[in-house]
Amino acid sequence: QKEVEQDPGPLSVPEGAIVSLNCTYSNSAFQYFMWYRQYSRKGPELLMYTYSSGNKEDGRFTAQVDKSSKYISLFIRDSQPSDSATYLCAIPNYGGSQGNLIFGKGTKLSVKP
Amino acid sequence: DVKVTQSSRYLVKRTGEKVFLECVQDMDHENMFWYRQDPGLGLRLIYFSYDVKMKEKGDIPEGYSVSREKKERFSLILESASTNQTSMYLCASSLSDTYQPQHFGDGTRLSIL
State pLDDT tens for residues A82-95.
999 999 999 988 76
Q: Which residues of chain B have pLDDT under 70?
A: 2
φ and ψ at residue B68, rounded to 5 degrees: -135, 90
Q: How many CB pairs under 8 A join A and B?
A: 62
Distance from CA of A60 to the nearest CA of B (A): 21
Element (H, E) at A72: strand A71-76
Position B97 scores a pLDDT of: 78
Q: Are A76 and A59 in contact (CB under 8 A)?
A: no
Nearest to B101 among A46, A97, A98 (CB): A46
Is B40 within 8 Å of A92 when comparing Cβ atoms?
Answer: no
